[in-house]
Structure 1
Amino acid sequence: MTLKWIRFGVGVAVAAAVVAGAPAAAAATSSSEAESTVVAAPIDCAPDAARPNPVIVLPGADGNTSQTSAQWSTMLTALRRTGACVLVFQGGVVDGQRWAGDMAESAGQLARYVDEVKARTHAAKVDIVAHSAGTFAANYYLKVLRGAPNVHDVVLLAPESRGCDGAGFLAQYGIPKLPVTPVQMLTAMPWLVPVLSQLMPNMRSALELTPASEVYHRVMDGRLTQPGVRYAVMATRRDAVATPPGTCSFIDEPGVTNVFYENVFPDGPAVDHSTLRSSPLTAQWVVDQLRR
């Protein structure tokens, strides 16, 4: 990849970002300036001997808090049917959007909630089921905030881990395919991260999931998985957000279960990045992982 093409790609990206980000930058209060909040389920259930670990569900950023019940009803029903104490946690909420604030701050919100769940339920550990951006908050909590001793199982659906190129993410914002991938561009010119964060405040947390971000390196440098925690990852080959599919999501470390939905359910209905978490087949797979 020549420097000429990198510069060309940067020029196109910045131009597109300026156009797309103008309304957000002009807003009176941007998501980069607004204080993020938490939308968390009341801790009103108690685990039993058969299911001793409360299950904390972390939805992704593909929707807002008003859509959570509809998006997650299938998964929550399947988990609760097992008798588990299931609690939904949505952090970094800005204007109803999940995980829109600083990811480190959002992970801190999760840490406080886990502590509260353990204190209220008297559970020794919790399980975590996370999707998309919620998986990054989970991994930040486990590794950087040293939350691993509090967690038994982690099930990650369509996570953004290592190896992502960012092309699918950029397409969501109407920015056309470039001669270089967004990750290549941001890695070559990390100064673009604060520029784009200012121009497009709603992209801030997503930019923190790239190798150009210090937050990313805190989580992804060195070993990602933590001792004592069981990890399971499901991706879909039809993922147009966490791209390339599988490469972006799978954690290539000892002891991790990495599967494609299509391999586990070759005759199952098609799913994509978002609908993976709404599939009854995915829900049953998650239940099975927590029963291992």
Structure 2
Amino acid sequence: MTRSKRPGAIRVAVLTGVAMLALGFTGSTTRAEPEAPATEQQLADYIAAGVKGGPIAGTGSACTSGSGAGSGNGSGDCLGGSGSSSGSSGGRSSDTQQYGPEMTSWTAAFGYGLLNPDAAPPGTNDWNCKPTAEHPRPVVLVHGTWMNAYNGFAYMSKPITDAGFCTFTFNYGRSDLVQGGGLGSLLPGVMGTGYIQDSAKQLAVFVDRVLAATGAGKADIVAHSQGGSMANWYTKFEGGAAKTQNLITYGATHHGTSLVGIGALGRAVNNFGIDVLGLVEIFVGHAGIQQTVGSDFVNKLNANGDTVPGIDYTIVGSRYDEITNPYELTFLKAGPGARVQNIVLQDGCEQDVSDHLTMMYSPRALSIALRALDPVKFPTLQCTFNPWVIGGGGGL
């Protein structure tokens, strides 16, 4: 792997970032064994028992209009759910400005990304790249919550580019504390914290730029965590269905997450009229709350089915995912005109114990993306050891 030139600073950033992620999202990261989770239906029934109900805004984002945002009344599609609101709407996307090194370890990449928030993962964003007859569509890489373009794809980007694809990425959901990005947004490399509907609009603009530059009619999207559900929203409500052929997601919060039960419990308490998630939102930001089970965002996202016609979905989950859990919540059910392949990362490869973050540094996960993008050239899936939390074969 290519190592950073500032290892001491990276180690500090890594420890800080891992600690904040552990406290803000998982509640506990003391063991890697997958637990027997509640089923999606059990979670839905549990939450539904306390639902107060309320209107869901239209398919367009109300987040930039000021409607409901920051009012504390829980109204509007911007908000995570009943009574949950902190900060105002806002946020932006941005292009990358320089290249960071190729990485095999998530921890090293995360630290580098904190110190270099505008770095691009290797091989991406060649705006002169033209798709070939063999690979006619550009690939857009979409990072997750509290991540950025670099540390989301510092491992996967170069192999995808080297396989012959025009590969592009950007930073989205850049919201500060006042805009509701949460305390995590105080760190320079933490992005993907703004309202997900606003981020989907940012993705729509970026995909249009990619298609215009490459001359392609459609793009393939590879997305992690929130990036997956945000890209799904883009295909449903921001015109993305006609511009997307493959949607490949890893640990995506398509049906929300219980956050080891914390999110589900908070949602249930909120539904009884006590604003618990509003307090949590101050720490994790708008996007974090929107991704909990039973939020207005999740309900609207799936109200008319999981998929849209014409898209090929490859959905990857890990049994060791401590953030999108139960991990089955990531899987989709194919509707008319759509094809869905739901893949458990450990099926056929028990030694890959990747969790939510290290799955993006898993050779098996990379091989799944390459097979989905070009099944003729890359028909075989790899199987190697990839450790929980660290990734990269256990070394930095």
Normalised TM-score (structure 1): 0.77
Name which of 134, 158, 183 aligns with 1:77: 158
**If each structure's helix is expressed as a fraction of its own residues, which one has the higher value?**
1
CA gap of 1:260–1:102, structure 2 versus 1, over 3 A, is: same
Alpha-carbon offset, residue 284 of structure 1: 1.0
Partner residue, 2:90: 35
Partner residue, 2:290: 208
Aligned-partner residue type, residue 78 of structure 1: P
**1:49-64 residue pairs with structure 2 within 5 A?**
49-63=133-147
Name which of 255, 261, 282 aligns with 2:365: 282
Q: Which runs of 5+ in 2 are unaligned?
A: 1-44, 51-85, 97-124, 176-184, 376-396
CA gap of 1:50–1:207, structure 2 versus 1, over 3 A, is: same
CA distance, structure 1, for counterparts of residue 298 and residue 309 of structure 2: 20
Partner residue, 2:345: 261
CA distance, structure 2, for counterparts of residue 191 and residue 204 of structure 1: 18
CA distance, structure 2, for counterparts of residue 208 and residue 59 of structure 1: 16
- 1:114 and 2:207 equivalent? yes
CA distance, structure 2, for counterparts of residue 91 and residue 108 of structure 1: 10
Contact 1:237 1:262 in 2 (8 A): yes
Aligned-partner residue type, residue 79 of structure 1: I
CA distance, structure 1, for counterparts of residue 225 and residue 256 of structure 2: 14
User: CA deviation digits over 1:119-165, x for unaligned, max 9?
Assistant: 11110100000000111210110012231010000001001122632
CA gap of 1:73–1:231, structure 2 versus 1, over 3 A, is: same
Contact 2:220 2:244 in 1 (8 A): yes
Question: RCO (CA 8 Å, sep 6+): is it higher in 1 or 2?
Answer: 1
Partner residue, 2:167: 86
- 1:32 is paired with a residue whose SS is coil
Aligned-partner residue type, residue 147 of structure 1: G
Alpha-carbon offset, residue 190 of structure 1: 6.5
- Report % sequence identity: 25
Aligned-partner residue type, residue 74 of structure 1: Y
- 1:207 is paired with a residue whose SS is helix
Aligned-partner residue type, residue 291 of structure 1: D
**1:192-203 residue pairs with structure 2 within 5 A?**
192=275, 195-196=278-279, 200=282, 202-203=284-285
CA gap of 1:54–1:265, structure 2 versus 1, over 3 A, is: same
Partner residue, 1:228: 310
